[in-house]
Amino acid sequence: MDTIYKEIIKSRQEKGLSVLQLAEKSGCSFKSIYIWESGKGNISFENAEKVLSALGKEIVIRNKEEK
């Protein structure tokens, strides 16, 4: 999940959005996004999808490549 938190922060900053603006755009609370970005809470798949969608990203599930 650490990768998702980093992607949220990176994408939010690239778009020039504050945590409050992302909260309004995603429908998630300011407090929740702040907690997720600080790594102190766990984000559900549903909320990760909402936040990432608001940032123009999507979650893709695919088979692992064999090495």
pLDDT tens profile 11-38: 999 999 999 999 999 999 999 999 999 9
Determine the Cα–Cα distance for residues 1 and 48; give it in Å rounded to an integer.
Answer: 10
* 48 — pLDDT class (breaks 50, 70, 90): very high
SS3 37: helix
- Average pLDDT of the residues in 44-56: 96
- What is the CATH T-level fold of the domain 2-54, as seen in this structure? 434 Repressor (Amino-terminal Domain) (1.10.260)
Domain ranges of the chain: 2-54
Cα–Cα separations (whole angstroms), residue 60 to 12, 29, 35, 45, 53? 19, 24, 24, 12, 12
* 67 — pLDDT class (breaks 50, 70, 90): confident
Output the average pLDDT for the chain. Answer: 94
pLDDT at 2: 75
pLDDT at 12: 97
